[in-house]
Amino acid sequence: MRFRLASPVVLLASVTVLGALPAQQPAAELKEKLAAHLSDAARKVDGVIGYEIVDLTSGERFSHLEHETFPTASSIKLTIVYELFKQVDEGRIRLEESLVLDRSKAVGGTGVLIHLGTPTLTIRDYATLMVTLSDNTATNVLIDRLGMDAINMRMQALGLKSTKLRRHMMDTAAAQRGDENVSSPDDLVRLLQAMAGAHAADSDHGRMAAAVELLKLPKESRLRRGIPGNVQAADKPGELDGVRADAGIVYVRNRPYAFVVMTTFLKDESEGERAIEEMSRATYQYFTRLGASGPEGRRLPR
């Protein structure tokens, strides 16, 4: 049996095709693995998980149920932080303004103000307690000072159609009426981007930078459990019965990203917490490699 060698033209064509593989193929493979990891982590939970993770450098994203409406729990406090610093920028409120705590606003849940009588605190103090300890009393003071309608109008102006602050913290009667505080993973990502300056006007940048610094203050969260302690994150977690959420920006060197995971209908809240932590850890590992490597994946000296 005789075999004919391919002509030089055919051989050249074969070499040319092989050499034309996209330069980003290894990075695309890494991206597909993260997407599969996130999907698998969400699928294993007995409940519903929506998420959106956005590369703030390239704009690429990983998402699932990102436009669906979820209960926010304390992650709704991100809207209050945003409105606070907008009103400061507009001269309508001062961070050093003092307010005596009205005991009628004191509620339980999380925080310390419920135990402290009638202290006189600044707006900055109330905001710090709201962010670091998720103090519900401090949150209610700020809602009343800023105005619930004003907060919601600001969210609408940002185009966040799923985001609604409908009740004070610990108002179970309002929740039973269906007045739950809600948002979507995509809305919270867009709100985080606005605070991070991705879509803010130049005049807003200084105030929004202060908002981000507030959110960077130490706190316990599932997002933070998934990243090393020396990596900065600006986030606000939340939890209610059957609900866990976390939303924030993680400042990986050379590759910051927005991370939002929202869960509901959880059979086991601890299972939801573990999923958020696992998703946070996998996402951090992915963006760390992108930030430390060249286009082909070689890890470069710092």
> ∠ CA(75), CA(80), CA(81), 5° rounding?
90
Does the CA dihedral 61-67-72-76 come out positive or negative?
Answer: positive
**Residue written as token pair 């959106």:** 52
**Residue written as token pair 């710090």:** 128
Q: How confident is the model at residue 197 (pLDDT cuts 50, 70, 90)?
A: confident
What is the model's pLDDT at position 170? 94
Residue 60 to residue 97: CA distance in whole angstroms: 41
Strand, coil or helix: what is 165? coil
Assessment of whether the complete model's pTM goes beyond 0.85: yes
233 located within any domain: yes
What is the model's pLDDT at position 10? 43
86 located within any domain: yes
Count CB neighbours of 118 within 10 A.
10
12 located within any domain: no
Beta carbons of 266 and 50 less than 8 angstroms apart: no
242 located within any domain: yes
Is pLDDT above 90 for 6?
no
Q: How confident is the model at residue 9 (pLDDT cuts 50, 70, 90)?
A: very low
Half-sphere exposure of 164 (CA within 13 A, CB side): 12
174 located within any domain: yes
Q: What is the CATH number of the domain that holds 259?
A: 3.40.710.10
What is the model's pLDDT at position 205? 64
Print the domain residue range for 227.
26-292
- Find residue 83's DSSP bridge partners: none
pLDDT by residue (tens digit) across 256-270?
A: 999 999 999 999 999
290 or 1, which is more confident: 290
What is the model's pLDDT at position 223? 98
Closest CA to 267 of 259, 275, 258: 275
User: With 0-12 CB in 10 A as exposed, 13-18 as middle and 19+ as buried, what is 29?
Assistant: exposed
pLDDT by residue (tens digit) across 98-151?
A: 999 998 889 999 999 999 999 999 999 999 999 999 999 999 999 999 999 999
Number of domains in the chain: 1
Is pLDDT above 60 for 58?
yes
Is pLDDT above 50 for 20?
no
16 or 197, which is more confident: 197
1 located within any domain: no
37 located within any domain: yes
Task: Report the percentage of the chain scoring pLDDT > 90.
Answer: 81
Give CA 42 to chain center in angstroms. 16
7 located within any domain: no
DSSP H helices in the chain: 8-19, 25-43, 77-89, 123-132, 136-146, 148-157, 172-176, 185-196, 205-215, 222-225, 269-292
**Average pLDDT rounded to a whole number, residues 28-35:** 96
